Amino acid sequence: MDKTRRAAIYMRVARAPRAWIYCRTAEPNAFALKIQQEELTAFAEKNHYDIVGCTSRHEAGTTMTRPGLAEITNAALQGKMDILLVLNASRLGRDIWNTLEYVGWLEKHKVEVVCLNGDFSVRGVGQFLLAKQTVV
């Protein structure tokens, strides 16, 4: 008599990293926003990212309380993205401390920030924030 064997099947489908594009200008400049978006979109496509959202705003970068960042924050909280693409760090904010803290927050929520110009590495943000705490 044959003994019945049980088997499990494991299947996994790898998905492309989900990227969110963030473009910002302080002054109304539709052309500058369009150029940012085109560069970020080309980068995402070249790296086989799945673009899941795009925030494009005319708003000052002097405060971290603004509609564009609120949209990104909500998307991160909902787990909608793996990567946030920005042209450079100043698009996120003009105050380096606040910007680095926000990038650190995104990292804690499993979102990697990629600056096309290589402004900073997310891996270095944690060390930088730790150093800031010891100085303060």
Supply the DSSP string of 73-91, one letter for each residue. HHHHHTT--SEEEESSGGG
**Do the Cβ atoms of 101 and 128 come closer than 8 Å?**
no
pLDDT tier at 10 (50, 70, 90 boundaries)?
Answer: confident
Residue 113 CB partners (closer than 8 Å, separation 6+): 83, 84, 86, 92, 103, 106, 107, 122
Percent of the chain residues past pLDDT 90, beyond the cut: 64
Residue 112 CB partners (closer than 8 Å, separation 6+): 82, 83, 84, 106, 122
Mean pLDDT (whole number) for 71-85: 97
pTM score of the predicted model? 0.80
Q: Report the amino acid identity of residue 81.
A: M
Does the structure show a pLDDT above 60 at 61? yes
Mean pLDDT (whole number) for 7-14: 74
Consecutive H or E run containing 72 = helix 67-77
pLDDT tier at 96 (50, 70, 90 boundaries)?
Answer: confident
Say how far apart CA 96 and CA 92 lie, in whole Å: 9
pLDDT tier at 7 (50, 70, 90 boundaries)?
Answer: confident
Say how far apart CA 100 and CA 92 lie, in whole Å: 9
DSSP-derived pairing of the beta strands 112-115 and 83-86: parallel
6 compared with 105, residue with greater pLDDT: 105
